[in-house]
Structure formats: C-alpha cells, structure tokens
Structure 1
C-alpha cells in the first residue's frame, strides 16, 4: 500500500495519538487515507535496516501500531544514514475517533 498525496490524507490529531512509547526523537507523523481504513505512519530506518508497520491491537477504543525495524544479522557493510519512509497498514474498520498508540521494536533477521 502506498501513501497518498497530501491532499488525500487526513492527519491524526495530536490528542488522538499516544507516542510516549517511542524512542526520543522518533518521528510521530501519522495519518489516515482511503476513508480512514488505512493508517500510515512515518517510520525510521538506517544503514541496512528496513522498517514496516504491524497492527498489534484493534479495539473500539484504540489501534496499536508497532513500527518494526528489521536489521540483518550478522550485519554487513552499511551506510550511516537515516531514512523516514511512510509505512501503511489496513484497518478492519475506519479509524474514526479511536486513539492511535505507537510503539517501536527492533528485530534481528538472518542475512
């Protein structure tokens, strides 16, 4: 799923977003698209790592979105850059007034 142009996005309001579990400095830009059925967040990856999003929980009150950064193990030669790609997930129902809870997890994956 690809992010839509700015004019087709609906930002998630600050009051509807809990990013307290993210590391300091992690991006917190989140929006919906496709009539609220897709949730998109700005991830963070660098060097050899890649980021993707997973829905950990969906209730009538909240959606918990985990930003998973996968790093190859053993690490190879990697650049020292940071990238901030948008990552998207499909929701079971439109987000509407539900709160979005962001979390981040690092995972080692075989090379």
Structure 2
C-alpha cells in the first residue's frame, strides 16, 4: 500500500506543467541585454539643469531612449549601471563600482567607461538622478 501511495505522489508531481516553478510562480524575467554606447557624433548631452548635482558626464542616444553616464573604475574594480526607477518626473540610475575582497595585486590605473541604460520612453525633460556606490564583492 505504501509503495502505491508513493507511486501516485511521484506521478502526480511529474504531470505539472514545465513552466511551473517553485510554489506555482514563473521564473523571474532575465535582466535586459546590455546597451552599447554610441560614438560621440551620435550622442546628445543631457543639459546640466536636468542632472543631479555632481553627476558625471551624461548623454542620451537612440532618440533619447538610452541614457549613458560616465563611470569610474580602477585597478581591480569594475563599474556597471543599474536603472533604479523611471517615472514621469525623473530617471534614477545607480553606478556600482565593485571591488574584489580580499584585495589582490591590482594596477593603479583609472578608467572612465560609458555605461548605458535603456529607458521605457525617451528622457525628454525628465531629471536624471545618478547615485554612485562602492561595494566589496568576494574574489
């Protein structure tokens, strides 16, 4: 009898839909594909009055649907951009500089890579708020 109940339980689980994950939810959507910054002649600078104080050099491309900010990294660190929020008034972007911990042997160079984020709609007159954070990541 016990073997029959076990067989029934296993066969019932095997008949669940393939896209069913965990407690009936769907898997999270994959992150958006990275957007490549365009050459200088295909950029439009974001006016200073639309930028948060102290924001790095920032521009738009692709008719305003992509915002690109200049990141800062050096040695072993790598920087990437995250789109935190976008609404009718503003776009919030976080530049994350990740440094491996424990620190190893690193060069003393500085790099300023352009970091792009794709918006749902063109920037137009919205404010661009950029925050920069440094985080330690395991080596």
Please report the TM-score for the alignment, with normalisation by the length of structure 2: 0.72
Distance 1:66 1:78 in 2: 24
Structure 1 stretches of 5 or more lacking a match? 23-27
Q: Which of residues 117, 124, 128 is equivalent to 1:96? A: 124
- Are the equivalent residues in 2 in contact too, given 1:19–1:103 (CA < 8 A)? no
Distance 2:85 2:36 in 1: 22
Size of the aligned set, in residue pairs, is 105
Question: Which stretches of structure 1, 4 residues or more, deviate above 3 A after TM superposition?
Answer: none
In structure 1, the residue corresponding to 2:49 is in which secondary structure? helix
Q: Please state which structure has a larger fraction of its residues in helix.
A: 2
Distance 1:73 1:92 in 2: 35
Q: CA RMSD in A?
A: 1.1
Please report the TM-score for the alignment, with normalisation by the length of structure 1: 0.90
Greater relative contact order (CA < 8 Å, ≥ 6 in sequence) = 1
Structure 2 stretches of 5 or more lacking a match? 1-34
Q: Please state which structure has a larger fraction of its residues in strand.
A: 1
